[in-house]
A and B are shown apart, each in its own frame.
Chain A
Amino acid sequence: MSDPTSDQSEALIRLEARIDALESREAIEAFHARFVRAVADREFEALASYFSTDATLDMRTHGPKSGAAEIAAHFEHMVTVPLIGAGYILSSPDITVVGDDADGRWTWHRLHSSAQIGGQDVRVWGVWEEGRYDCRYRRQNGEWKFSYLRFRMVRPDADPEGAPLPPRELP
């Protein structure tokens, strides 16, 4: 059998790039689902490992935290947040992959089952919140991680917008 023509080689290279983009989308969606499940299960000590070492975490009104130490400290403080018994739904992923970088937007819902009233946990049904993840992901050593995570509650009561996602630095 003879060597492939340049057209055949280029077609294979294009196909490989499309397969890589699909594989990356699959990997990123599973990665973000795992992260939200870990948050729901209050595995706070593991959460910093989902971020690249130079990542930025911008959660609601807490202000941007950059780097592994600041991000780990943020999650350590979450241990004291008494929210338990809530349900979390992650949906509507919109992922764009460009090589070893990707952008992602997700819708998030939290379903509450209790509220603190007068220092007591009281069963309350029907209360929900909707949030929005705007994320950047980066692949390092074959593993996708967050390089920027921005989260805002959007409904029924929206968080202040704060800083927008910074423009992507093109290589």
Chain B
Amino acid sequence: MNQSEYAQRTTDAGRRLSLLADLAELRDLTRGYVRRLAVRDWSGMLDDFTADAVVSIREHGESRGRAEIADLFERMHAAGSPPDGYLLTSPEIEVSGNTAIGIWTWHRLFSELPVMGGALRVAGPWWEGRYRIGYRREADRWRFADLRFRLVASSEEAA
């Protein structure tokens, strides 16, 4: 191996390692988001989104920019904090320079059923959903630029 080839292959190895690090960072970003969403911990959540991010969660419509996204989280928070379980699995992430697209499968395992004046403990009901997320790399880190979520089972929502 001569000096020129060595330099080229070293640069290439660095680029490939950087891409693997991006994938790890994007997985952590998304898992952290869902974990904090599950416990309704909004602190710092907005910083996970670019200033011009778009969020579209189920029937809530599109929220554009951090102010509208904050409003969306507030409305979701007002809906209560049931002790449900959340699984985020099967990431499929494609990085292209400073942007990336990720597809994830999500499950929510219910533990309560709302009844008049309270909640009834019940095990068994679940939902499956899909995230399709556009990420953008900014100066300091990756952020969500376009986050879309829909239920697909056990009942299906419109895309």
Contact = CB atoms under 8 A, between A and B. Distances in A.
B20 A126 contact: no
Interface in B109-159: 122-128, 130, 152-155
Interface in B38-63: none
Nearest to B2: A3
Helix, strand, loop or mixed for chain B's interface?
Answer: mixed
A86 B107 contact: no
Given A16-B13, A125-B124, A22 B1 contact: no
B155 A85 contact: yes
A33 B1 contact: no
A36 interface: yes
Contacts of A26: 20, 23
A9 B1 contact: yes
A164 interface: no
A111 B126 contact: yes
A88 B20 contact: no
A87 interface: yes
B96 interface: no
Given A3-B3, A12-B10, A87 B126 contact: yes
Q: Sort chain B's interface into a size bin.
A: 20 to 34
Interface in B72-95: 87, 89-93
Contacts of B20: 19, 22-23, 26
Given A33-B90, A85-B155, A125-B125, A16 B9 contact: yes
A134 to B, nearest CB: 18
Interface in B1-47: 1-3, 6-7, 9-10, 13, 16-17, 19-20, 23
Contacts of A40: 105, 128, 152-153
A41 B1 CA distance: 49
Interface residues of A, number: 34
Interface string A1-44: 11110001100100110010011001001100110110011000
B13 A88 contact: no
B90 A36 contact: yes
Interface of A: 1-4, 8-9, 12, 15-16, 19, 22-23, 26, 29-30, 33-34, 36-37, 40-41, 85-91, 111, 113-114, 125-127
Interface of B: 1-3, 6-7, 9-10, 13, 16-17, 19-20, 23, 87, 89-93, 103, 105, 107, 122-128, 130, 152-155
In the A-B complex, the 9 residue pairs with the smallest Cβ-Cβ separation, listed nearest first, are: A125-B124, A126-B124, A33-B90, A113-B154, A87-B128, A4-B6, A9-B1, A30-B92, A85-B154
